[in-house]
Structure 1
Amino acid sequence: MACTSKEQFHQDVQELNQELKPQEQIPAVQTMKLNRGGLIIKTSEGPIQFGLPPETVKDSMSLGVEVPTFYIIPSQRFNKQFGINVAEFEFPAYFNFFIKKRQVTLICDTETANSIKIVFQETLLGPQDFSQIKNDYHSDVDPVEYVDFKKELAIFAKNPMNLNEKLTSETLLKFIIFENNVAQIGKVKIVKEEKEFTIYDNQNLLISFPDKFSFPKEYDKLLSLHKIDSSGKSEIAPPSLTIMKKMQHGKKPPSLTQNFEEVDSDEDDQDIGSMPNLLLWNKNGEAKLQKKGSIELNEGLTFQAPEFGVTVLGCSHGFDPKGSTSGYIFWINGRGIMVDPPPYTSYHLKKMGIPPIMISAIIISHCHADHDAGAFHKILDDSKVEIITTRTIMYSFLRKYSAISNLSQDQIKSLFIFRPAILGVPLNIYGAEFEFFYAFHSIPCIGFRVRYQNKSIYFSGDTFYDPVKIEELQKQGHLNQARCRQLNSPKFTEDIILHEAGVPPIHTPQTVLSQLPNQVKNRMYLVHVAAKDVLKGSGLKVAKPGIENTLILIRPNVQQDIPLNRKMDIISRIDIFDKLTLNNAKFLMDALKLEKYKEGELVIQENQEGHKFYIIESGLAKVFSDQKENKFQRYLQSGDYFGESALIQTGRRRASVLAVTDLRVLSLDKHDFWFIFGDGFEGQGPVIEQMMQLMEARKQQAIQILFKNSHFSQLTPTQKTQLEMIMQQQEVSKGQILWKKDDDATFVFFIRKGAFAFIDCEEAKLEEFDSGSFIGEINAILKGNKLTTTIKAVREGSILKIESNAFAKFLQRNPGLLLLLQEYKYLE
């Protein structure tokens, strides 16, 4: 970390220390619960904190209390429920060392200490082996252009307080290891028991608390898609629709990223999918965020992602208590690529009304916690996502998160699709041309230029950009001429320039950027910096976070037809079309026609004869029925479809569909529907068979059974549809044995009605299970093991049965569920 002088470093630290002084003194308390979760205990040896969720240092700073130097690490360091690391020690360590000039002490067992050392190697110093660096580059690139990371990272790996001293993990971290379940800090003794910690101070009992990190209740409600207690039984986690209603009448929870307000909706509506927020565009290309539950049908507005642009989710750094860490959505051809998503981003996207189908991939720039923590959260949130980065960074990510989560690297690999970023050649990604490059940072980090049509955006990544200093390093032999030329080569000719301006020495000094020509600064937006820290009179500005501040280069052209690659993208991300042959997919592309509806206009009318099938390209639609025996309403977004029932079975529409905003749909005529999805002779093809299975499940009100299960009720609408498509109803008689211990695992099931119980096994002590309960040994299904339980129908009833192979495929498509559910045998 020696890219600026020692004097400059200390000046930066002094300025930051001055800014971080508490605005008011908080009265001394014995214990304090933190906003993001965790607990601070006051002791005679100083404050001790239990649990370290992402951005935890911001809690202490915002409360005006001292950031602790002692941290007790929970036994379960990784929260599978949320996909979040609750032992994120990186920024407490960085803050204490680089700002306060002191070490932190982690209190844990030997195994945890060894795992943390692996994590810190990757995040503080970077990978140790670069023998395969050539795999990051295109074969045409001259090896002289390869980054020599051994030399380059050594530039930064110096103690900024003593430049002659090598920076190591021991420079920042100390460990106190539990010996015979006791850890001693001076006069303070910490005792680790089976499920709790007890702290004594001067031999006096101070406090006992559970060895389990818990998010605050407000966060728990907002975040919980997968909520299971230690017994395997689910706790009630209301759907977001209910949460938003309750928040109107109660205490508003703290913002997770400080950027987006909570919104309200009507709890009493019988929604299957709650109404989202909307990003609306007027005819001038100006964005407006329309809140959930407050739809106003304003003339000229339509729900559409920009053709090309970028939304900043957060633009600050890890030490700014009022700002969110940096994260972005790059919009390309109406599709979103998230770059370094900050923690909890997935749930804010949902609140903003951005359907998961719109997010096609994630780019991970590097493996610092403020850049990769949200990526792992997004990986586990929904169906498999594509991750784009170099092989060097990917393998570092795998080593780091294997140590964090206690999953093998192969297990983590199975959770996503890896697309290598190749340096030295433009890559076509979703119709745009990306040029990736290695930035100049303390660990391997990428930036990129992206061009779409005749517009372009530059993303610096975390980097030290100072042409004078870089040339000095080249003269000193730390960098070769090719690397010096590459680092000093930005011409900044792009239409939008997102450039980091964090705290040197590992980030770019604002003084350097302030010297750029005004025509460059006019197109430049600073990130990784708090707005209050921008140099006065420099002509520099920070990027404004929030979807309403989206930077638009090419606005959506709602008048033009939908290009082929956009059609293919929509179709490829709809589960029901998985079994289409290439020929049928081609026929489908030819047959789909674009239709446009104004807000307030009916697309289909209940009880009228149906002749078309529809797929939503953009906008928001409401499906509803006013019939007493079938009264309901739900909302559909991009990637959702409707209208199949009338074409397959009834001939007449069973519900109406209204355009809530301007709506663009792809329609398919009934004759083409049967030709493409059937067998050509009005017989059932695989797609129609799945649609019929889905209709049958809905006829049996399978969705209501899922809503009775406090875990499965929290799945996304897409995940619920996936389950409905593989369910089959089966009647069960009283006393019937569904399976026996040591049988092969052939199916799982949801109880539709009746009562069931385990017998002749360890689980026999449990109470009976009734409607909504899920029964199934998932581990046996995934690993081919024999069953360990026997299950019996106590009363006559019916089940919704799912064959093992179909359920295994469902879990493979949804890695977060796979990771969470594999150890359970029942869920209520």
Structure 2
Amino acid sequence: TNYGDIEFLIYLNFFLGEGSPTRIVGTAHQKRTFYRLLTLVIFGIFDPEAPAPPSFEQLRQAYGVPDPDAFHLFRQAFELYAARQRRDATSPLRRLDDYVDFTVLSPGETVVPIARRRGDTPLGQVRLRPHPPGGFDVRIVLGDGRSSEKRMEVTPPARKETHIPAALRRGDLTSFVIWINGKGFLVDPSPEALTYLRRIGVAPVDIPYVFLTHVHADHDGGLLEKLLSWSRTTLIASDVVFRAFLEKAELITGHDFGHEGLVKHLPANPGPPLSIEVGGDTITVETRWNLHPIPTNGFKIGVAGRTFGYSGDTQYDPELLTAMRERDDLTARQYEDLKHFFWAADGTPRVDLLYHEAGIPPVHTDRRQLETLSPSMKARTFLVHVADKDVPPGAVPSKPPLFSTQALLPPTTQSREAILLDTMRLVSYLHDVPTHTLETLLRGAEICSYHRHALIVRRGPLGEKEPLHFFIIADGEVSVKEGGVVKTRLKKADTFGEWGISHQRGYRVADVVASRPCQCIRLSEAQYWWLVERHPAVQERVAKIRALLPRLEMARDRHRLQGRANVSSPLGLMTRTTSGQLAKLAMFGELRNLKKNQTVIVEGEEPDGFFILLSGHLSATVGGWVVGELSEGDSFGEIALLEGGKRHATIRVVSVDAEVLFMRTRDFRRLLETLPAFSWGIWEMAGRRRHTSGQSQAANEAKEVSPADGVRARDQGTANLGQHRPTSDYPPHNR
């Protein structure tokens, strides 16, 4: 498993299991990392085991705490909600060892006692003994002497996502999308929300914004996956929440998301509103600090005179808030925000629609408190973060049905055209075509809707007067089939039909079928030639993609086969790329053909670009030592570009010949900036490669042999740069 998967189980065992700790077995390094993660998500920016409480200045530097008032509120919430050893406010706080019973793996046999509760007589033991290269011999011994043994292979999770148990999340809505002019703002993304959005055909590029209220697992469990999609996501969050997320993300993944450019941040701090331009309209975002165990925000979003509000996780309890104000635990501004952010003191609504959480008290709002709101406020309030069974039939406020939509502003013709123009700008070969040209194309285009399984293009010869068209997918998904076999799937902003116009007059080489309900922008042959006449580079790009895409797809498929053959190997850069994503790589790359023994890059030289091996086999040497090999689908040359130094290794062709896709430095950096999944894969691979190279060099130096002998050592099993197996105590960038 991975750190993120365990976080929610620890909450459940401790808070719903009457203080039961969760037994975890792992390495000493994993324990240190996981305890820091738990401190962040349970206690927030405070550490109860620190020698002394942090000062305001320390937390301002570390987390961007804006002022002493916010510091005081966070401290009060920490003291209010932290679990204590006894049921009184002066009792010492529970320590992390009360939440987790962590057994550290030993080099030999590790014995894990199993009991119903800590301190009870053990029911038995689980005995673990490492078995190279990455497994364990496991023996279960019961109290009566019976035992059972098996060998357990340990492999990294195929997907690094956090899934909340179904029985607990049924009907408990924590994620939703705010749509403004066709652009989605996904609030507190869960993995389930991303899955549902994919199923109904919402492309990642349709949701360019995420609002994060805080860093608990049921609110940020899908955020890493969303940030690492093949489209840039902007994270809207207060500085404190954002820095807490960066720390959590690095603990889970080993990646510095800020340094590696994996996330763009828009600060939404309490105080002056944040303004964002979305589809020609300016929206305003106002936030407040909530009353919750860790720093959390509620917010309001306003556009065109209408306002939506979301409470975020908070304890709305007027009596408690009044008592805290009387003790000066809250400032006047904090008190007003916590009581009257969404409605005035007389009950008059300040929002047109409100989603208010009603989770398990006291760290959430008791649903009955919201029943005391004014009738006009209750009529526009819906409950979230509460199970169906906890909301009686006919209750007001009620829960919004799953997948329901509340429309505050109707769509317009102008907003629809803006959405379609944005889609056209995403087409790889149209990225720099002027807006007025795209507008002219769109005015002459036809927007076609297709139901699932509808045949859009039929394979075979065209009729004598049958017109030719090319298509841009605006929504949904289509399958390209040959002989009934799906060759590839195309999604939003992918295109088809251009090659039939420019090179295959009168014949279609494949069927194109709607995989799910979809919409396409259909353009005529005359429009295509009009576009090419004004922008000849379009035809050159189409031809380039047509030539390189099949080679990239073949290299990707072979890379996937290698990954299936060795499931313990980390996924490579190419493994999860779609054909549309490969088309972007093709457009910015150039094909190079190489011969046996030809040198591709030389150790110590200045870097000029990045490479993907399409066919053939390469070797990597450092200081004359062979430190690894590269096979089809592997990429190389990234380390010097990332670090700004010289080439770290010499790469040479060892097969009869080879083909590589070469990408110049400027194009490589452009993809790093615009495609987070590409950037993630590059940094992950670079960290893994540095670790592997260091291991290989250390092993060679320990043998004290000549470079020629080093080559023979490679043949006996030195690390492969393309398919490295991580050590049991994971290296940086592959935790």
TM (norm. structure 1) is 0.63
Instruction: Give % identity.
Output: 20
Tell me what 1:148 maps to.
69
- TM-aligned CA deviation for residue 516 of structure 1: 2.9
1:732 to partner: Cα distance: 2.8
User: Is residue 2:241 matched to residue 1:393?
Assistant: yes
Letter in 2 for 1:792: R
2:473 corresponds to: 616
Verify: 1:330 aligned to 2:185, yes or no.
no
Aligned to 2:111: 199
Once the two structures are superposed, residues 663-691 of structure 1 have per-residue CA deviations (whole angstroms, 9 ceiling, x without a partner) of 5433455566566566x3x6x33x44333
1:250 alignment counterpart: none
2-structure distance, mates of 1:62, 1:482:
32
Give the drift of 1:646: 3.8
Contact 1:729 1:798 in 2 (8 A): no
**Partner secondary structure for residue 198 of structure 2:** helix
2:262 is paired with a residue whose SS is coil
Q: Which moved more, 1:198-207 or 1:610-619?
A: 198-207
**Counterpart residue number, 2:704:** none
Counterpart position of 1:565:
418
Superposed counterparts of 1:298-447, under 5 Å: 320=168, 326-343=174-191, 346-347=194-195, 349-402=197-250, 405-408=253-256, 410-411=258-259, 414-421=261-268, 423-425=271-273, 427-428=275-276, 430=278, 431=281, 433-442=283-292, 443-447=294-298
Q: In 2 relative to 1, CA 751–476 (structure 1 residues): closer, same or farther, beyond 3 Å? A: closer
Equivalent in the alignment of 1:715: 577
Correspondence 1:166-245 to 2 at 5 A: 171-174=94-97, 190-193=104-107, 198-199=110-111, 206-208=127-129
Structure 2 counterpart of 1:737? 599
485-494 or 157-166, which deviates more: 157-166
Per the alignment, do residues 646 and 167 of structure 1 end up closer, same or farther by CA in structure 2, a change over 3 Å counting?
farther
| C-alpha distance after superposition, 1:565-623 (max 9, x if no partner) | 3234324444444334xxx1233224313523353666555554876543222344444
Counterpart of 1:227 in structure 2 is none
Work out which structure has the larger RCO, using CA pairs closer than 8 Å and 6 or more positions apart in sequence.
1
TM-aligned CA distance change 1:172 to 1:429, over 3 Å = farther
Answer whether contact 1:595 1:664 (CA < 8 A) is retained: no
Answer 1 or 2: which has greater helix percent.
2
Q: Does 1:823 align with 2:697?
A: no
- Deviation per CA, 1:133-182: give whole Å up to 9, x if none: 9x999xxxxxxxx99213323332325657975799x64324999xxxxx
SS at match of 2:687: coil
Is the aligned partner of 1:487 residue 2:351? no
SS where residue 492 of structure 2 aligns?
coil
State whether structure 2 residue 548 is matched by structure 1 residue 691. Answer: no
Gaps of 5+ in 1: 1-36, 39-49, 78-107, 138-145, 178-184, 215-229, 241-253, 260-315
Are the equivalent residues in 1 in contact too, given 2:40–2:248 (CA < 8 A)?
yes
Q: Is the 8 A contact 1:379 1:816 kept in 2?
A: no
Matched residue type, 2:559: N
Distance 1:159 1:529, change over 3 A: same
- Asked whether the equivalents of residues 314 and 363 of structure 2 are also in contact (C-alpha less than 8 Å), the reply is yes
Does 1:588 pair with 2:438?
Answer: yes
Q: What amino acid is aligned across from residue 411 of structure 1 in structure 2?
A: H
* CA RMSD in angstroms, aligned pairs only: 4.8
| Rounded Cα–Cα distance in structure 1 between residues aligned with 2:651 and 2:639 | 16
Match of 1:469 in 2: 320
Partner of 2:692: none
- Aligned residue runs from structure 1 range 620-639, under 5 A: 620-625=477-482, 633-639=487-493
Q: CA deviation at 1:438?
A: 0.7
Amino acid at match of 1:425: P
Give the secondary-structure state (helix, strand or coil) at the position aligned to 2:185: strand
Q: C-alpha separation between the residues in 1 aligned to 2:41 and 2:12?
A: 23
CA distance in 1, matches of 2:446, 2:414: 9
Quick one: distance in 1 between partners of 2:518 and 2:22? 55
How far does residue 340 in structure 1 lie from its aligned partner after superposition?
0.9
| AA of the residue aligned to 2:577 | L
Correspondence 1:781 to 2:635: no
SS at match of 2:361: coil
Contact 1:727–1:800 (Cα < 8 Å) also in 2: no
Say whether the 8 Å CA contact 2:204–2:229 is kept in structure 1: no
C-alpha change, 1:74 and 1:189, in structure 2 (3 Å) is: closer
Residue 56 in 1 paired to residue 15 in 2? no
Tell me: CA distance 1:502–1:334, structure 2 relative to 1, closer, same or farther (3 Å). Answer: same
One-letter amino acid of the structure 2 residue matched with residue 596 of structure 1: I
The residue correspondences of 1:739-818 to structure 2 (distance < 5 A) are: 739-758=601-620, 764=626, 772-805=632-665, 806-812=667-673, 813-814=675-676, 815-818=679-682
CA gap of 1:500–1:418, structure 2 versus 1, over 3 A, is same
User: Equivalent residue for 1:16?
Assistant: none
Deviations 1:411-461 (A, max 9, x none): 25x211112226443734534734422142234322223355676532111
- The equivalent position to 2:494 in structure 1, one of 635, 640, 644, is 640
- Between the two proteins, the alignment pairs up a number of residues equal to 621
Q: Return closer, same or farther for 1:713/1:410 CA change in 2, 3 Å cut-off.
A: closer
**Aligned partners of 1:176, 1:553: CA distance in 2, in Å?**
44
CA separation of 1:209 and 1:351: change in aligned 2, threshold 3 A: farther
Structure 1 Cα separation of the partners of residues 276 and 555 of structure 2: 44
| Greater mean deviation of Cα atoms: 414-423 or 64-73 | 64-73
Name the CA shift for 1:554/1:667 in 2 (closer, same or farther; >3 Å). farther
